[in-house]
Structure 1
Amino acid sequence: MTGLRFDLRDPPPGAAALRAEVRAFIAEHEHRWTPEVRARSWMGFDRDFTRAVGARGWIGMCWPKQYGGAERSFLERIIVLEEMLAAGAPVGAHWIGDRQSGPLILRLGTEAQRQKFLPKIVSGDYAFCIGLSEPDSGSDLASLRTRADKVDGGWKLNGRKIWTTFGHLCDWMIALVRTSPPPEGGSKHQGLSQVLVDLKAPGVTIRPIRDLVGEEGFNEITFDEVMLPEDALIGQEGAGWAQATSELAFERSGPDRYLSSHPLLETGIEALRSDAAAAPALGREVARLWTLRSMSTAIAGMLQDGDDPVRQAALVKDLGNDFEQALPGAMRALRDVEEMPEAMRRMHDYLTQINPTFSLRGGTREIMRGIIARELGLR
């Protein structure tokens, strides 16, 4: 049975100076952010802000300089992410490209792919989304039906993806598709590959999905005889399942899994600072936050060391979802909604509407616990 460790990491050299630099940068921009924008956090999409972040060298921070990166550590990157999320900065235009698409291209892409895509992600000129779920393939993702068939000159793509975050706003998608049928008697996880899709290509139709909050952050994307070039394949043909699940460790372990609701906690602490009766409950929330932060920082250290912390990432996502979903209720228990300061109330109202989705995006709670059990040899 494999263990489940989270070794604490010391702050990197220059951490305090970097944190101060990021806070000063945020102070130049945050006057434009409404309480709803701050509560939206990494789901806020602002290309101008992303380009400003890129100009400071804070996108692709850990990547080689030859691709536009800054060759800084994973732990330095965590500092920037923490400050952005804590402030509720609208980082959505670069979030997925910086968090997982860029690292995937860096690790498995060809040199031509690295040269083409990574500098554009760093500058904020290319926004990426991920094509995983389909109308009939959600948690059972390996049953997906979108196909990329080899043809003269490349691949012909047909099928549908759904719940694609930012699909209507992005330039490129990395899609998990079937490139060959699973072998007779073999696993359905075989025969899957990852491909790069230009979302402006002929045959791509994007339909935003309006949710119960009235927003259109998710999309259904249809591919009808979309022609992809030969070099659209990322990594090894048929190895898409292993590539995609490894990529999700970057998605599930980051501070966005426990800081998406942070602006509400911050405004709640400020509003209740003089209320001695609220102190124990606020202290418990801060303690939970600090524990999750320590776990996420430990995972950043593992990634920096070249490890593959799949089970640790799943645990952080599961616990982080619990924390974030419970936070609006915890604030209501301390202050009636009608008595909350306006900014706190508006954040509370927005998060109360959207936080049920937190345990769905990036994998359901049941999927996370199944991963943890399997990785620990319990199933």
Structure 2
Amino acid sequence: MDIFNNKLYFTSNTEYKTFIEQIINGMYDWVRVIDIDDNIIFVNDSMSKALGKNLLGEKCYNAIGRSKPCDNCTSRKAVFEGTIQNKEEIIGEKVFSVMSSPIRDEDGRITAVVEVLRDITEMKKMQKKILEHNKKLQSELNIARKLQCSLLPKDLPRDKIDFSYVYRPCEAIGGDFLDIFKIDNDHMGIYIADVSGHGVPASMLTVFLRSSINKRTLSPAEALNQLYKEFNRDYYDQELYITVFYAIIDTKNKSIIYSNAGHNVSPILFNHESLRFDILRIPGVPISDWVDDPAYTEKIISIEKGDRLFMYTDGIVELRNTKNEQFGEERLLNILLGEKMSPAMTLDHIIDTALEFANVKNLNKIIDDITMALLEVV
């Protein structure tokens, strides 16, 4: 054998065959060649040393401690079908990935099969550990989801406000959140929030939000300023941020006072009878560490019996159809100002219309959190 211009040259076929055999014997994987009668006609050094005996001439199944051919014999299948076959095989205490490839003579007839057996025992053990870990993690996520859902608004007096909401995280736990609560006999508070990102880190900030927001003050701007300071005291090293729209409904004086911490979709106040609607736009910095003083402001708007307040996150309006068009605010408005239904039925209608628009069969196929709330002054 000579090397010339980085190429190997062999002086005889015997020298070439010896070189190929050296390559195969240098492999860590087990390699054997089996004729069409199941006899081993070649085996590399790795397999011979591992099994501790001369395997030449033995039946392929006897060599691995069996008395008859394997039920899922890939070598026979490779001969019959003329294609490469794969399987996993347990030999002793080890698991092997087996690839059987047909060998053809000059006339194209299959005369033997070469098997390559790769030890995947450690990989299978690792897969098992990962599956067990994932199962445990899923169980913990389910507990976290139940905890997060338990923090959502429950039964509230409906003598002054009727309401319904949809909360659907795209993962087991989400970064969207909303809360509706009684402040005193004449005031109801409601906020909707969206934490950047998804999963556990985002959900932890929703818990922080619920436990930290001031539910006693009658000033949404004051509540957001306090929340901003507390976030920067406890979560200053977080890359995540929270957008929050917070409104307080005065049921006695028939008004809504509201403030915004960077929530990018503005709530809609509307009335079916007058076909009036107001989009409650007001600027504000997300709950973050972006500025020293966010200086939240607030606005006030009058309401009357029959008025409805719709609050939502961007998951629903950012749904896209096959033309890459967004569902958008205008389609949302058309539904809200259309036929009057109960708050719960209206939200269901929004979801059905949005899914049809996006050609999605169900909410589980949507890749963003979807949260909406609809309140009516009664």
Q: Settle same-fold status: TM greater than 0.5.
A: no
Structure 1 length-normalised TM: 0.23
Q: From the two aligned structures, give the one with the greater strand fraction.
A: 2
Task: Report 1 or 2 for greater relative contact order, CA contacts < 8 Å, sequence distance ≥ 6.
Answer: 1
Structure 2 length-normalised TM: 0.23
